[in-house]
A = this chain, B = another copy of it.
Amino acid sequence: MKNRKITLSESEIPENWYNIVADMPNKPLPPLHPGTLQPLGAADLAPLFPMELIKQEVSTERWISIPDEVRNIYSIWRPTPMFRAYGLEKALDTPAKIYYKYEGVSPAGSHKPNTAVPQAYYNKMEGVKKIATETGAGQWGSALSFACNIFKIECEVFMVRISYEQKPYRKVMMNTWGAKVFPSPSAETEVGKRILEKFPNTPGSLGIAISEAIERAASDENTKYALGSVLNHVLLHQTIIGQEALKQLEKEGNMPDIVIAPFGGGSNFAGLAFPFLRLNLAEGKHIRCIAAEPTACPKLTRGVFRYDFGDTAGMTPLLPMYTLGHNFVPAPIHAGGLRYHGAGAVVSQLMKDKLIEAQAFNNMEVFEAGITFARAEGIIPAPEANHGIACVIKEAKKCKEEGVSKTILFNLCGHGNFDMQAYQDYFAGKISNFELSSKEIQDSLSELTTPEIG
């Protein structure tokens, strides 16, 4: 019998996160204060984040120790299994060896708890009573609700109103873990009230929800803010994925030629890829690391590298990022987690330095890939994950054409149990491709007044 699953024991959960900044030939540019355009200091971030996370945000240490309490909570779902995708290889009739790391086994159903748990932990250690955050479709909000419940921290989630109304089950999930969920814009904040007064019927947006969560944190000394991607410390926490994957492939006596992950703000991709990029940067290996993004939101393949705001409303520091412009509104694809205008500073610098690759995939190809995978491997993936799968299928077909047996590893970052409406729409013929014209991107970028990068 061929082994399909490569498992690790609880004691093999890595003891450190890997901080790629230590090994980057060009370090990421600093975030800037939007008023002074000067690099931010720790004090600027202190109202929003606990000091330990701020230290991680600016750290250049290679290894950052994972607290025992965090490893203990991780053990609810970690180490996650790795699978050899025999079924998919057969379906594609490819000589490629395909492996995937499956993060959908976490209670919230995705990789997001990998950072939600340490974020809640460090807040708890510094006496924080409440964390406010935003969520779109609900993946991040449910992960943080799960984590806050464990450490007995209050959790308030500002959920984009249209998602709040259309996707009630993620909200119920957050309630089950004890979180309060508000449809955003809400009457809970000044910014929310102002927007509601002006646009009483607005469906809301992630930008507005971020503004509300930040206001909440900034105006209450017992409340902090948490973000689910983009920032350095978030990417750092996700490296637990790639480190486990490395151990698992070592057990197999195999190393990947290609590592693939979906790309939203960068944490999913960084989580799997950074520990393999370390082998390139520190040991001279040549592993291709490919970020798979939607053609509807192609920041890496069609955006520009410059300073931009992290949110639509322009309330955050300026971040050096590949961006489509913070006012860019992506088409309403079902992969809500990838509908973000920019890429985190670290992944952007790596992209700039050509140390990683990016490919964009259109909507129909993405769903066809997901259904191929579900039928070949049994697991129904989240729409975000389907972008990675589309890339895997493309590379595996190339292996067949070229008659080479490469090893491909990808991140199956979440299950699709809360995304069945997307599959229903696909089967009902309601999914279509989205074409984004160069003019639309130029128009969005031409509105930017933020500093360019020399």
Contact = CB atoms under 8 A, between A and B. Distances in A.
A427 B105 contact: no
Interface string A400-442: 0000000000000001011011011001000000000000000
A394 to B, nearest CB: 21
B378 A107 contact: yes
Contacts of A421: 169, 172
B178 A375 contact: yes
Nearest to A75: B4
Contact of A10 (B7, B72, B169, B371): B7
Copy tally for this chain in the complex stands at 2
Contact of A3 (B10, B87, B105, B374): B10
Contacts of A222: none
25 contacts: A1-B68, A2-B72, A4-B76, A5-B75, A5-B76, A7-B7, A7-B10, A76-B379, A105-B105, A107-B380, A109-B417, A146-B378, A168-B420, A169-B420, A172-B421, A172-B424, A173-B380, A173-B420, A173-B423, A175-B427, A176-B374, A176-B423, A176-B427, A417-B417, A417-B418
Nearest to A374: B176
A149 B4 CA distance: 18
Contacts of A2: 72
A76 B378 contact: yes
Given A146-B378, A175-B423, A427-B175, A72 B418 contact: no
Given A105-B105, A176-B371, A374-B176, A4 B423 contact: no
Contacts of A146: 378
A377 B75 contact: no
Contacts of A75: 3-5
A72 B11 CA distance: 26
Interface of A: 1-5, 7, 9-11, 68, 71-72, 75-76, 83, 87, 105, 107, 109, 146, 149-150, 168-169, 172-173, 175-178, 371, 374-375, 377-380, 415, 417-418, 420-421, 423-424, 427
B7 A9 contact: yes
Given A10-B7, A68-B1, A377 B173 contact: no
A49 B155 CA distance: 52
Given A105-B105, A417-B417, A1 B427 contact: no
Contacts of A149: 375, 378
Contacts of A420: 168-169, 172-173
A76 B377 CA distance: 8
Contacts of A418: 417
Nearest to A175: B427
Given A4-B10, A4-B75, A172-B427, 4 more contacts: A1-B71, A3-B75, A5-B10, A415-B417
Nearest to A73: B378
A30 to B, nearest CB: 36
A125 B292 CA distance: 40
Contacts of A1: 68, 71-72
A138 to B, nearest CB: 11
